[in-house]
Structure 1
């Protein structure tokens, strides 16, 4: 999945679709919230995966911001 997410983020960066990246980031933050507060299951792997997704999305948003500053 991380490879496909990177591909999707790259496509959004290439098409300058900041809103789609922000929506992806918000969805993952919403998914992460209940996992942060649960103790009834071991959600460590899910949390790690979502944090990695967020890292990739943030990199995409940074690339867009950098491109905007260059213009």
Structure 2
């Protein structure tokens, strides 16, 4: 069963909404940077999940790029 980010990315790809995917990726990157800068708590699991989300988002962007060249 796909996780939430996969469903969101799939929806944006079907809608051909590159801007939403770019915004989502930037939000995730900023969140990862912010969490990595924090001290006093171990955010490694959360940061790992965010980085996995970014991989899914980038795959969606690649699908859009592939559809544009076809």
TM-score (norm 1): 0.90
Task: Give the structure 2 partner of residue 55 of structure 1.
Answer: 55
Q: Which structure 1 residue ranges, 5 or more long, are not aligned?
A: none
- The C-alpha deviation readout for 1:23-47, integer Å capped at 9, x for no partner, is 0001001101122223421111110
Task: Give the structure 1 partner of residue 8 of structure 2.
Answer: 8
What is the number of residues matched between the two proteins? 69
TM-score (norm 2): 0.91
Task: Give the structure 2 partner of residue 68 of structure 1.
Answer: 68
Q: Which structure 2 residue ranges, 5 or more long, are not aligned?
A: none
- Computed over aligned residues only, the root mean square deviation of the Cα atoms, in angstroms, reads 1.2
